[in-house]
Structures are given as structure tokens and as C-alpha cells.
Structure 1
Amino acid sequence: MFGSQVPSVPVTAIDDDTYLLDVREDDEWAAGHAPGAHHVPMMELPARLAEVPTDRDVAVICRSGGRSAQVVGYLLGNGWEQVRNADGGMRQWAAVGRPVVTGDGQPGQVI
């Protein structure tokens, strides 16, 4: 379940009611992430599944969309129904002018 078979959402359609799950590595997250995002690195997700809600929309994001697509497939296979891949990832998020911040709220960058 990869590529076009994975349900997706444009980054411009992700609103504050959506649980935004950032599955990038710690260094990527530290350099810059979406305000309000929840950080669970992809390889830690199986041990931390309970942190991801099943009763609301979930958008999964990484740098460009590859890792997040894998995570969406994994979550769908484990009972999540309201989960989508953020099209283009954090690169697209930043490209359309959505905010990117560091942990202390300063402007961040996508690496």
C-alpha cells in the first residue's frame, strides 16, 4: 500500500483539528516542524501507537512524503480509518508558506 494507493491530503487542507503526526528523525524535528505537530519518529511508532488517536483525523508528515506514506499504510493495517499522508511533506508545507518552528518557537527550517 504505497504511492497513489495511500490516502492523502494537501498540506493546505490540514487544519488545527487534525492530529498532525511528524514521523521524521530527531534532528529533522529539531531543525523545524509544524506548530502543534506531534513527534513520533517512524521507527518508534510501533511502541508508541497508543499516542496516535483513533477517533479523529490524523495527517502523517515527513520531509517529502515517503516515510509518512509507509506509516499511513501501517496505521491503516492496524485499524486506523481516519489517517492520510500529507502530500509533499514538510518541504511542501514550507513551500506554501505554512509556519515552521523550532522547539523554542523560533523560525525553523526543513532539513
Structure 2
Amino acid sequence: MEQWNDIEPGKFLQLAAGGNLDSDQIIDVREQQEWDYYHLDSSLLIPMNTIPHRLAEIPAGKAVYIICAHGVRSAGVCRYLTEKGYSSLHNVVGGMAAVASLQGFQYD
């Protein structure tokens, strides 16, 4: 059973644009070249394969929004973080492709 919440990209963008999220609350788990192509300035890049070594950078005491390209890797990271005791995790549905589309950018 999933222990995190899915969040629609529009709702996520409202939160991010409203200045309600700190930079360590939006974790982008894509690779560097994907980040270089398109990313949110308010996010922190922690590629999926580095998560186990960088847990200290992910706040355990507040809501965290995990995003990747399409929502698959971020769901896996949410699952992993849940197993490590994190709560209040949110997977951005459709990932950066959906977010970019809402911002008028053709991601892929």
C-alpha cells in the first residue's frame, strides 16, 4: 500500500509559485543532463541513484515533493523514502513533462 500522496501538476505549481515551499522541499530525481535541459529553479537536484547517500539533504519533518520526467522514478523514490521512515511525501503526477506543459514548454 502506498504511503505517499500523488499531487496533480497544476496544484503542485500553485504551491511552488506561491512561495510556500522551501528549496529543499522539491526534490528532482532526474539525471544532470535532464536537469540542464529543463528544471524548476526552486528545486534541488538529487538523482535517483544518489538518494541513499544523500538522505541528510531531504527534510524528514516537512512535506517533500518528488519529481522526475514522467512520474515513474519519483514514485520509486517515494516508496524508498517511505521505507526509510519519511512521511508527508508527494509524487508529482506526470512529472516534469506535465509541469513543463502547463508552463508552455514542450518537454519531450
TM tier relative to shorter chain: 0.7 to 0.9
Higher helix fraction (1 or 2): 2
Q: Which of the numbers 97, 100, 107 marks the counterpart of 1:94? A: 100
TM-score (norm 1): 0.81
The alignment yields a C-alpha RMSD, in angstroms, of 1.8
Return the TM-score normalized by structure 2: 0.83
Aligned residue number for residue 33 of structure 2: 27
Aligned pairs, number: 99
- Percent identical pairs in the alignment equals 33
- Rounded Cα–Cα distance in structure 2 between residues aligned with 1:51 and 1:110: 27
Unpaired segments ≥5 residues, structure 1: 101-108
- Hey, what does 1:77 align to over in structure 2? 83
What displacement does 1:56 show? 1.2
Deviation at 1:88, TM superposition (A): 0.3
Unaligned runs of 5+ in 2: none
Deviation at 1:71? 0.1
